[in-house]
Amino acid sequence: MDEVRRKLRSFSDAAATEGKFLDWFERLYEHADNNPVWIPWSKGQPHPLLVDWMKDTNQTAGTALVVGCGLGEDALFLAELGWNVTAFDIAPTAVKWASKRYPHENIRWVVGDLLQPNKEWLKAFDLVLEVHILQAIPEEFRIPASRNLSPLVSPSGQLVCIGRLSVDDSVEHNGPPWPLSKEFISSVGNNLKSIDFTPAQFEGEESIRYRAVWTNE
């Protein structure tokens, strides 16, 4: 395990020991001190499964919510396509960093918590995007957090989730991250219609990724 992963796990373990299971996000961003090398999910570009989906489906820009925006690459990608983006993260340091990194008139940067989403967001977004967030949350929080995604999707809107796919559910993973079973992923789009499930493996990576898309019909 490289130094970045060791540091991430140490923050995660310490937060869990203290009973503050989600505090490790803020601790990692603070430790990074504006150096993105310490943020393993930040690649300096939007997720390729999002880029491909946008290219293949020719989406009409509308309102978008980026869940757990991190350093903001996905939010910027959508904003530059004309989307009116609300991007939130539980870590205040991440939000401050992203807003300085990618100032854009189409992005509103917000500190927020998927476990307690803003009530004004209910049924408010044509696109709700979640990338690598559910896989980073312990199961006792992941399940209730996942149930808060579909209520944010507007009538005729879409929910897109991207993350690691578990290929053998009998294997225990010492996360974060925790690869997600297809059964769990299917449950995320509660009350929505599934229209896409795409597994993918990228060069140089052992993990299988997935993109799942639902529509609110």
Which residue type, as a one-letter code, is found at position 122? L
Q: Is residue 1 over pLDDT 70?
A: no
Q: What domains does the chain contain, in order, with CATH numbers?
A: 42-215 (3.40.50.150)
Predicted structure pTM score: 0.94
Arithmetic mean of pLDDT, 34-51: 94
| Residue 94 burial (10 A CB sphere; 0-12, 13-18, 19+) | buried
How far apart, in whole angstroms, are the C-alpha atoms of residue 102 and residue 107? 9
Q: Is residue 110 over pLDDT 70?
A: yes
| Both tokens assigned to 217 | 């019909």
How far apart, in whole angstroms, are the C-alpha atoms of residue 7 and residue 12? 9
Arithmetic mean of pLDDT, 158-179: 85
